[in-house]
Amino acid sequence: MSVTYHEAGVDLSAADKSTHAIASLAKATFDKNVLKDVGLFAGFYRLDLSKYSQPILVSSIDGVGTKLKIAFMMNVHDTVGMDLVNHCVNDIMTTGADPLFFLDYIGTQKLQPEVAAQIVSGMAKACRENQCALIGGETAEMPGFYSEGEYDLAGAIVGVVNKENIIDGSRIRAGDKLIGLPSTGLHTNGYSLARKVLFDIAQVGVDQYAPDLECTWGEALLRVHRSYYSPICLVRNLPGLVGISHITGGGIEGNTKRLLVNGLGLQIDWDRWDVPVIFRLIQQNAGIADEEMRRVFNLGIGIVFVVRANDSDQILGQLRANGESPIEIGSVVAVP
């Protein structure tokens, strides 16, 4: 008896079709530094050393978490592709780096070329917006491993920064101010708790209209994780900027403390900004304690700039002049 790969659950024809569709999307992100076409075993990217006297490569890898479950329920797949790129871009740009190129991984039970194309179209859009190239990726079809109609998503990014321009928090000291920029919602963290509260406890549906949110629950939960490329580029070379924190899992305190040395802590003024309605609704539907909300969610602040107190007005003014809505949310303090 002869058994084919197709009978085992892997459709090589669908994989070929998907590869062709994805290749054209990826090529739309290429710049002059991408040397080869999509389809080889590796991507090629030329480092422009004229811009960097002491180039340091910076890399990060991440996923979208259980926000994917909302994408499956809504049958909307481009936004999670954007989420993935923007999350990775924000992570490396906290160091002062420029994003160079991005690679993705999609694992699924049965490859659906139209879904893969939606995902990659979102990635390609975000790559163009963040001035980086999508130079390669992997799509794996694994029957019996994933649930039907579902997939996993991961991405890796490489950037570069001059050694003398690295931002690592080492200059942070007591008295520095914390300036936050608004998030667009949950971004890509806290979805396991949000799904339990909204779908299991509150029994809402993704297509159900939420008057307080002025959209459906699904639309609110799928709002794209914001990229902070532009505001970071705006202030990263100012001498008063001494640290940047991307607010992901762990909340404002958990992520910003990663920049601090022993003897320093944070004093957050939680009343300085209006927490977006979606977080209030999640909290109220399950009676979640404030401390737990602050530990799990970004609560409306997606990036935090740590700045010298004497320079805070200048940086606030610079951000506002470019259409941002910065909020001074606290300060760095000395602790025993």
User: Cα–Cα–Cα angle for 326, 231, 179, nearest 5°?
Assistant: 30
Is the pLDDT assigned to residue 119 strictly greater than 60? Answer: yes
Instruction: Place 111 in a pLDDT band, splitting at 50, 70 and 90.
Output: confident
State the pLDDT at residue 22: 76
Instruction: Place 336 in a pLDDT band, splitting at 50, 70 and 90.
Output: confident
Cite the beta strand spans of 145-233 per DSSP E.
151-162, 177-182, 209-210, 215-216
Q: For residues 82 and 123, is the Cβ–Cβ distance under 8 A?
A: yes
Query: Is pLDDT larger for residue 7 or for residue 282?
Result: 282
Instruction: Place 1 in a pLDDT band, splitting at 50, 70 and 90.
Output: low
Mean pLDDT for the stretch of residues 202-206: 96
Q: For residues 198 and 89, is the Cβ–Cβ distance under 8 A?
A: no
This prediction has a pTM of 0.92
**DSSP readout, 135-170?**
EEEEEEE-TTTSPTT-EEEEEEEEEEEEGGG---ST
* Distant-in-sequence, close-in-space partners of 207: CB < 8 Å, separation ≥ 6: 216, 217, 218
Q: Above pLDDT 90, what percent of the chain?
A: 82
Cite the beta strand spans of the chain per DSSP E.
55-63, 98-108, 133-141, 151-162, 177-182, 209-210, 215-216, 241-246, 264-268, 301-307, 327-334
- Work out the mean pLDDT of the chain and round it to a whole number: 93
H/E stretch holding 81: helix 78-93
Cite the beta strand spans of 183-220 per DSSP E.
209-210, 215-216
Q: Which two tokens stand for residue 87?
A: 């999350």
Residue 293: DSSP 8-state: H
Mean pLDDT for the stretch of residues 170-175: 98
Chain centre distance of CA 255: 14
Q: Give residue-wise pLDDT tens across range 52-104.
A: 999 999 999 999 999 999 999 999 999 999 999 999 999 999 999 999 999 99
Q: Which two tokens stand for residue 236?
A: 């990263």
Is the pLDDT assigned to residue 48 strictly greater than 90? Answer: no
Query: Is pLDDT larger for residue 333 or for residue 42?
Result: 333
Q: Give residue-wise pLDDT tens across range 173-197.
A: 999 999 999 999 999 999 999 999 9
Q: For residues 161 and 98, is the Cβ–Cβ distance under 8 A?
A: yes
Full set of structural domains in the chain with CATH = 12-165 (3.30.1330.10), 177-334 (3.90.650.10)
